[in-house]
Structure 1
Amino acid sequence: MTDILVLGAGYTGVVAAIRTAVRTRRTGGRVRLVNASPRFTERLRLHQTAAGQRLTDFPLEDVVAGTGIEFVQGRVAGLDVERRQARLADGRVLGYDKLIYALGTVTDASVPGVAEHAFVYDDYAGTVRLAERLAALASSPIAGTVVVAGGGLTGVESAAEIAEAHPHLHVVLLTRGRPGSMMGERARAHLDAVLERLGVEVRTGADITKVLPEGVELAGGELVHSDATLWTTGTRGLPPAAESGLTVDGRGRIVVDSALRSVSHPDVYAVGDAAAVSQSYGVLHGTCQGGIPTGLHAADSLAATLRGRTPKAFRFGYVHQPLSLGRKDAVIQFTRRDDSPRRWYLKGRAAITYKETVSSSPIPTFRLLKRGLVPVWAFALTGGLG
């Protein structure tokens, strides 16, 4: 019996656990999936939760039912990679022979005041607290101001979603560069037009130096009033990885080889946002688009190793940058493998349909994996899985 421990039950952790259970069933694999929350959180849709939309609840025990996976609810407090043990916050210790680390990342709170005064998307409960705060502001006769820090995909989606759901609020998007700067010119032009239509005030060149209880301070000393500040700028790996002695990069992500094994401890596999995965064009950035294929590939690499085979090298190419702009608009920038923009893009109704298709509930994908099948899109993104 090989004890396989999967830490983290986000998109990548769940697909890694299910795929591992299926691929090691005949070789005596015992898979345990550890997560702090008993529910599966659609992190891609947290901006909708923040805007007050109620999403479907998926208990993790139901998600992995029928796979033989044992679900363990608990928060990971530390790792001992020499003894091959994971320690939970309640004192329980879980041993393993092989580990898949899928704990993801958390908000980089290095800017003073972020941890104390800003809302973040680190978990579902925190997002619900933001939704409650926004609802309270929206019901006030005095228009409140919401500051969204960060002009990347998460920041733009959040600003648009909040502005559409709460038109009474004044939404300010603060960003150093242009919102959606990774997109092509035409896609960015549509993005700009939608933000203007929704009444979002966009301030570029904004360098936030401090988050305060009732606003943010910019370089130069200017104060921007805020009744609620959402921080979407930058992420870091969780402490257990670096504290355990695993080799990590400057952002605390586990450095892995081509099979997605830790370069310092090959019995540990890292996937999704928690892994620093190198490709010919650079290191993958944290998105579900790249995360799920890493979860699938790590499972296949682990299964191949248990059979005495050499794992295949992970290959990945980006396809698109899908961006929702509230419930009534969207923009899709198609990309080259290295995520640089191509000429083609979608906007409006066509983009909404596309976005809802590729970002729909992952439950059908999980069901396919339980049957030993890999969705066609996963093959297309990775160039084939071992």
Structure 2
Amino acid sequence: MRNQQQTRVVVIGAGYTGMLAALGTAHRAKGRVRVTLINPWDTFTERLRMHQIATGQNLPQHRIADLLAGSGISFIQGWANGIDTATRTVTVTTADDELAVAYDVLIHAIGSTTDTSRVPGADAWAHTLDSPRSAHRMAERLQAGELETFLVCGGGLTGVEAAAEIAETYPDVKVTLLSRGEPGAMMGGKARTYLHEALSRLGVTVRAGVEITKVLPEGVELAGGEFVPGGAVLWTTGVRVAPLAAQAGIAVDEAGRIITDADLRSVSHPEIFAVGDAAAIRQSYGVIHGTCQSGLPSAAHAAANIARRIRGRALKPFRFGYIHQPVSIGRNDAVIQFTRIDDTPRRWLLTGRAARLYKETVTSSPISTFGMAKRIGVPARMLGRTGGRRNQSPAA
């Protein structure tokens, strides 16, 4: 029989948030908890650096089993295909079998993917940066040396960083960034101007205010019928959340994210915690948008609250405020827009080498953070602006 003093905690997803939540829970509730981590791949993926993999850069690979060593966490490599909230089990398909993994507490940490369903042809013809496999396929196309043109669709931070990386690494390839809105629109005027000038220096052509209606094998079609040729297309616009929670009858928002209370628990199933891109976490200024900047603090806070729950203590509400918008512009340049807690721009910014050093510091590999979580635990306040009155209003 199971030791009644041990709570079964199952974590779905081993990205930034899932890994930290699992390690934090195992450390904080040591001896009282059995943690199981479920993930389709056996290596940890640094989503923030996927554009570097896609341009052929060699980055260190980290096996999940190695990252978990000494933590007491069990790892199951497989796909979570269903959640039964009545029996509190997760159905997992592995290479050899189908398992029913029981939980007392569930942490839903499945990250988002690029939505290629809204525009015809995007799913068939466009590259994405959703996984190492898709990034490596794009790198193979670029390294083959046959491309003269490359289209990046989407002017968000992912699209901007990818366009700059491609242009810098492959200067003979003509890169065009296509976007409905202005790239860097969320930044202040000075930061936005610097971003556009830096893209121009790298040879990136920016076409804002366009709507892509179809992706084809050799380019894209715009509203009005214009065809823009491209030897390859990268799709970075739109976000899709896995339907797992919605299919299980867990309360979700219009984007499919689990709606949480102030403590990061599902409003419909309080034994389920949601973190990162999987969660619709409301603050005084609105719902947090999915970034690593907010995801890691939410994971650390969820781990702390689960430990409080197991010990019979009162849970604490999650408070979060944004600090900055860091954007790489190739390997040697960057722009950092500092922000208010609601992510609107302040007057302060960094550019050039100083910005590059800053970004490499604040968005460095989380491996050291995972190691710390195993040894001493990582409070949310160490990972960002969390807690306190300063997060109560955008004017703070």
- Provide the secondary structure at the position in 2 that maps to 1:304: helix
Aligned residue among 4, 12, 36 for 2:9: 4
AA aligned opposite 1:85: T
- Using the size of structure 1 for normalisation, the TM-score is 0.96
- Report the Cα offset of residue 376 of structure 1: 8.1
User: Do residues 58 (structure 1) and 62 (structure 2) align?
Assistant: yes
AA aligned opposite 1:126: S
Per-residue CA deviations over 1:293-348 (Å, capped at 9, x if unaligned) read 01011111111111122211100000000000000100000000000000000000
Per-residue CA deviations over 1:82-109 (Å, capped at 9, x if unaligned) read 2111112342221111100001111112
What is the 5 A alignment of 1:333-352?
Answer: 333-352=337-356
The corresponding residue for 2:105 is 98
The corresponding residue for 2:137 is 129
Identity %: 56
User: Do residues 108 (structure 1) and 112 (structure 2) align?
Assistant: no
Assess if the C-alpha contact under 8 Å between 1:368 and 1:375 holds in 2: no
Assess if the C-alpha contact under 8 Å between 1:113 and 1:211 holds in 2: yes
In the alignment, the residues of structure 2 paired with residue 120 and residue 132 of structure 1 have an alpha-carbon distance, to the nearest angstrom, of: 13
In the alignment, the residues of structure 2 paired with residue 304 and residue 280 of structure 1 have an alpha-carbon distance, to the nearest angstrom, of: 24
- Report the Cα offset of residue 378 of structure 1: 2.6
- Report the Cα offset of residue 373 of structure 1: 3.6
User: Do residues 162 (structure 1) and 166 (structure 2) align?
Assistant: yes
Aligned residue among 220, 227, 230 for 1:226: 230
The corresponding residue for 2:274 is 270
In the alignment, the residues of structure 2 paired with residue 359 and residue 184 of structure 1 have an alpha-carbon distance, to the nearest angstrom, of: 21
In the alignment, the residues of structure 1 paired with residue 331 and residue 242 of structure 2 have an alpha-carbon distance, to the nearest angstrom, of: 32
In the alignment, the residues of structure 2 paired with residue 365 and residue 263 of structure 1 have an alpha-carbon distance, to the nearest angstrom, of: 29
Aligned residue among 197, 204, 211 for 2:208: 204
Assess if the C-alpha contact under 8 Å between 2:113 and 2:239 holds in 1: yes
AA aligned opposite 1:225: P
In the alignment, the residues of structure 2 paired with residue 377 and residue 2 of structure 1 have an alpha-carbon distance, to the nearest angstrom, of: 26
In the alignment, the residues of structure 1 paired with residue 333 and residue 228 of structure 2 have an alpha-carbon distance, to the nearest angstrom, of: 28
Q: Tell me whether 329-338 or 73-82 shows the greater mean CA deviation.
A: 73-82
In the alignment, the residues of structure 1 paired with residue 64 and residue 148 of structure 2 have an alpha-carbon distance, to the nearest angstrom, of: 37
In the alignment, the residues of structure 1 paired with residue 274 and residue 321 of structure 2 have an alpha-carbon distance, to the nearest angstrom, of: 19
Q: 1:377 to 1:313 in 2, by over 3 A?
A: closer
The corresponding residue for 1:20 is 25
Count of residues in correspondence between the two structures: 379
- Using the size of structure 2 for normalisation, the TM-score is 0.93
- Provide the secondary structure at the position in 1 that maps to 2:320: coil
Assess if the C-alpha contact under 8 Å between 1:322 and 1:331 holds in 2: yes
Aligned residue among 50, 53, 57 for 1:49: 53
The corresponding residue for 2:393 is none
AA aligned opposite 2:43: R
Q: 1:373 to 1:305 in 2, by over 3 A?
A: closer
In the alignment, the residues of structure 2 paired with residue 381 and residue 72 of structure 1 have an alpha-carbon distance, to the nearest angstrom, of: 33
Q: 1:79 to 1:380 in 2, by over 3 A?
A: closer
In the alignment, the residues of structure 1 paired with residue 10 and residue 380 of structure 2 have an alpha-carbon distance, to the nearest angstrom, of: 27
Q: Tell me whether 337-346 or 222-231 shows the greater mean CA deviation.
A: 222-231
- Report the Cα offset of residue 18 of structure 1: 0.5
Q: Is there any run of 5+ residues in structure 1 with no aligned partner, and where?
A: none
RMSD: 1.3
In the alignment, the residues of structure 1 paired with residue 252 and residue 35 of structure 2 have an alpha-carbon distance, to the nearest angstrom, of: 25
